Structure 1
Amino acid sequence: MLNLARIRAITLDLDDTLWPIWPTIERADGALQAWLAEHAPATAALLTDPEQRRAIRAAVNRDLAEQAHDLTLLRREAIRRALLLAGDPEAHAEPAFEVFFAERQRVSLYEDALPALQHLAARFPLVALSNGNADVQRVGLGAHFHASVSAREQGCSKPDPRIFLAAAARVGVPPEAVLHVGDDPGHDVLGALGAGMQTAWINRQGSAWPHADVRPHVECDNLKKLCRCLD
């Protein structure tokens, strides 16, 4: 059961907790493809082949396995390799990535997200805690967060307990005084539990909890219900 008296700060996952991630990525991929069609047409043609895209990504993931926490690096390198493979200028990699990255920050919030952030931020310091590369300042939510901790910055990704401990340190509280909120049973819930935090699983899809031996402290299908649990 959730112990409300212990909570002095909240860490929040971003992708699929505050907004759906795949529409955002698909839109960013479309913006990238349109830019390549204008500036690097051979690369654009190459990337219309799903097999080529998968092969490039698989090779990058294999060759840079030790940097798996850095999605920005992996995406930029995939673009660079596609340009080289297609015979387009390698110098296009950085501006092409910036087109993707700018669109990646244009998220469509779940309708409960902004009211929940306003409600929670009035009561607790909030820390964004993400494996992804969304920037809460560029997204337009920075005013609600005391700090932001990313896998790229920390050199490790959820469920590694170190990233959770870093988030707790940003607000100067021990991990047992933190409630972590996220959608992923493994990355968010198990990771936070391993770091000694309380956990809230945001289960928007009504999925069955996949682990028999441990559970989140609270489960909600949206953030509005979570706010009610904390009142």
Structure 2
Amino acid sequence: MHELDTSRIKAITIDLDDTLWPVWPTITRAEEVLAEWLKHHAPATAAAYPDSRSLRKIRERIELERPELRMDLSAMRRESIRAALAESGDDPALAEPAFELFFDERQKVVLFDDALDTLEFLASRYPVVAISNGNADVHRVGIGRFFKASLSAQNFGIAKPDVRIFHAGAKQAGHASGAVLHIGDDAKLDVVGALDAGMQTAWLNMKEKAWELDSTRPHATVTSLAELRTILS
């Protein structure tokens, strides 16, 4: 097991969904808002897909049918709405305003209680870069001031755990990968990807799961962002 060397840390890269906020309550609420909108603007689609669960099922179906969209969650969601409209006999052009409604709601995240203090702590000491496979926008979320840059798989064209997105994050931060600490909740996407890129890693393990991968372990494991602040202080 590695031991975190805080003296080497010159920059931070950090995941967004499930690291700074819980993602699924946000997605579920956005899907519920979308379902309500469909009742008024596309009633046939609303009858076929009346709730968050049914809307998520067609999105999962489109993911299987359109694997080329897997790195672009916005396009995946837009196309799933378009498919639901078309199959129900409603106007597929409604997919654009429907997606914009969904996307706006998707940005209304509820930060973990210790996230804001942690971002303020990190940004006061290091350049911070977001690296995400999701489609949250740090500026629309309201935390853009803490970040030097933000990389998403859909804009960069490469997703975690590919080392290239981590190397790009380090470059945006202005440091070599070996001087960067990556923080994230996903053992494979965040920890293994960042380790392969030559970074130090901090695994945010709120549910205290066992480490189940055979690969090298993270340099630090924390159950909260507040605990991470203590380690870095």
Q: So what's the TM-score if we normalise by structure 1?
A: 0.96
* Separation of aligned partners in 1, 2:53 and 2:114: 38
Change in CA separation of 1:54 and 1:5 when aligned onto 2, cut-off 3 Å: closer
Name the aligned partner's letter for residue 208 of structure 1: A
Cα deviation, 1:18-64, whole Å, max 9, x if unaligned, reads 00011100100011001111100111111138896466334421332
Name the aligned partner's letter for residue 121 of structure 1: A
Aligned length: 231
Q: CA deviation at 1:66?
A: 2.2
- 1:29 aligned to 28, 31, 42, which one? 31
Equivalence for 1:147:
149
Cα deviation, 1:60-115, whole Å, max 9, x if unaligned, reads 21332123110000000000000000000011000000110000000011100000
Given the alignment of the two structures, is residue 138 of structure 1 paired with residue 140 of structure 2, yes or no?
yes
- 1:224 aligned to 220, 223, 226, which one? 226
Q: 1:35-74 maps to which residues of 2 (within 5 A)?
A: 35-48=37-50, 53=55, 56-74=58-76
Identity among equivalent positions (%) equals 54
Cα deviation, 1:127-148, whole Å, max 9, x if unaligned, reads 1111100000000000111110
* Separation of aligned partners in 1, 2:79 and 2:89: 15
Q: Secondary structure at the match of 1:60?
A: helix
Q: 1:123-202 maps to which residues of 2 (within 5 A)?
A: 123-202=125-204
Change in CA separation of 1:79 and 1:202 when aligned onto 2, cut-off 3 Å: same
Change in CA separation of 1:51 and 1:126 when aligned onto 2, cut-off 3 Å: closer
Unaligned runs of 5+ in 1: none
Q: CA deviation at 1:156?
A: 1.4
- 2:120 aligned to 112, 118, 121, which one? 118
Q: Between 55-64 and 102-111, report the one with greater CA deviation.
A: 55-64
* Separation of aligned partners in 2, 1:213 and 1:108: 33
Q: So what's the TM-score if we normalise by structure 2?
A: 0.95
Q: CA deviation at 1:5?
A: 1.6
Equivalence for 2:86:
84
Q: Between 68-77 and 57-66, report the one with greater CA deviation.
A: 57-66
Equivalence for 2:10:
8
- 2:208 aligned to 179, 182, 206, which one? 206
Unaligned runs of 5+ in 2: none
- Computed over aligned residues only, the root mean square deviation of the Cα atoms, in angstroms, reads 1.5
